């Protein structure tokens, strides 16, 4: 597609439920990143996929968070047993290759009640 | 560990003024630096990308400079307009395979 697409744009869930957030990167982009932006905070790196390499999961805040990227394209970020502190905007970005700039999606606003 | 700082945190200027936003980073061995704009409730829009070998990039009324040795970048906005009101984020990448490290942004308000 023309840009990075994220769905849903908004998600309200009850504490303890699992949620899945989806990211469709720009076609042909080999690098994909997930970030989290909490109210009043900067962007926090979560996970990075590069081609067929093992993902860099160093930013995942707990084992309740996981992500996969199928076929080198679409990525899904899963949060299990959601907590109120998980409420944030989850942003996905992709990049064509090393050294190129990032293109961000519009994000998914997650609210845990 | 790379840390990125943006000063000021917020800035309010009258329409038509030229202004400078500052970004500093602790590890000068960067691969590139990127400036983004974020409107309230929206994602990030890339403004300018400066590779480590470059000293500046220009796009319209925007000019970004990079001084790697001192760990600084500035974003210059000429003849500011109310539509420029947004949060401006600076981010650096230490290598081609590492994630961007972001500052907390400067929230700009341009008053008509």
Q: Quick: pLDDT tens for B58-92.
A: 999 999 999 999 999 999 999 999 999 999 999 99
How is residue A41 annotated by DSSP? -
The contact set of A with B (CB < 8 A) is: 6, 33, 35, 41-43, 45, 48, 50, 56, 59, 91, 93, 98-107, 109
Cβ of B51 within 8 Å of Cβ of A99? The answer is yes
Q: Residue B19 class from Cβ within 10 Å (0-12 exposed, 13-18 middle, 19+ buried)?
A: middle
pLDDT-above-70 percentage for chain B: 100
Residue B18: band (very low, low, confident or very high) from pLDDT cuts 50, 70, 90:
very high
Strands A10-13 vs A108-112: parallel, antiparallel or unpaired: parallel
Which has the closest alpha carbon to A2: A28, A34, A21? A28
The tens digit of pLDDT for each residue in B24-49 reads: 999 999 999 999 999 988 889 999 99
**CA-CA distance, A103 to A30, in Å (whole number)?**
12
Residue B7: pLDDT band by 50, 70, 90 thresholds? very high
SS3 A106: coil
Residue B97 has pLDDT above 80, yes or no: no
- pLDDT tens string, chain A, 113 residues long: the values are 579 999 999 999 999 999 999 999 999 898 999 999 998 778 999 999 988 888 999 999 999 999 999 887 899 999 999 999 999 999 999 988 766 788 999 999 999 99
Tokens of A107: 């994000």
**Chain A residue with minimum CA distance to B97:** A98
A43 CA: distance to closest CA in chain B (Å)? 6
CA–CA dist B27, B4 (Å, integer): 9
Q: What pLDDT is attached to residue B45? A: 93
pLDDT given for residue B35 in this prediction: 97
Q: Which residues of B touch A43 (CB under 8 A)?
A: 89, 91, 100, 102
pLDDT value at residue A42: 83
Q: Which of A48, A50, A102 sits opposite B34 (nearest CB)?
A: A102
Residue B20, phi then psi, degrees to nearest 5 = -130, 130
- B73 shares contact with chain A (CB less than 8 Å): no
Give the three-state DSSP class for A70.
helix
Judge: B105–A42 Cβ closer than 8 Å, yes or no.
yes
pLDDT at B96 over 90: no
Does the pLDDT value for residue B104 go beyond 70?
yes
Task: List the structure tokens of B45.
Answer: 């829009």
């Amino acid at each position: 597609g023309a840009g990075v697409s994220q769905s849903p744009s908004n998600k309200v869930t009850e504490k303890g439920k699992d949620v899945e957030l989806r990211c469709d990167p720009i076609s042909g982009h080999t690098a994909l990143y997930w970030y989290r932006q909490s109210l009043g905070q900067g962007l926090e790196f979560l996970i990075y996929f590069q081609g067929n390499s093992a993902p860099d999961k160093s930013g995942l805040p707990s084992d309740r968070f996981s992500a996969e990227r199928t076929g080198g394209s679409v990525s899904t970020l899963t949060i299990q047993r959601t907590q109120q502190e998980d409420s944030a905007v989850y942003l996905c970005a992709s990049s064509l290759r090393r050294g190129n700039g990032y293109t961000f999606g519009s994000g998914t606003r997650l609210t845990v009640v | 560990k790379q840390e990125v700082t943006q000063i000021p945190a917020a800035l309010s200027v009258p329409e038509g003024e030229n202004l400078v936003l500052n970004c500093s980073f602790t590890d000068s061995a960067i691969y590139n630096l990127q400036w983004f704009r974020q409107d309230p409730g929206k994602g990030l829009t890339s403004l300018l990308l400066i590779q480590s070998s470059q000293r500046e990039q220009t796009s319209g009324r925007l000019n970004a400079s990079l001084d790697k040795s001192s760990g600084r970048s500035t974003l210059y906005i000429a003849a500011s307009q109310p539509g420029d009101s947004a949060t401006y984020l600076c981010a650096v990448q230490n290598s081609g395979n590492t994630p961007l490290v972001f500052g907390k942004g400067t929230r700009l308000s341009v008053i008509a």
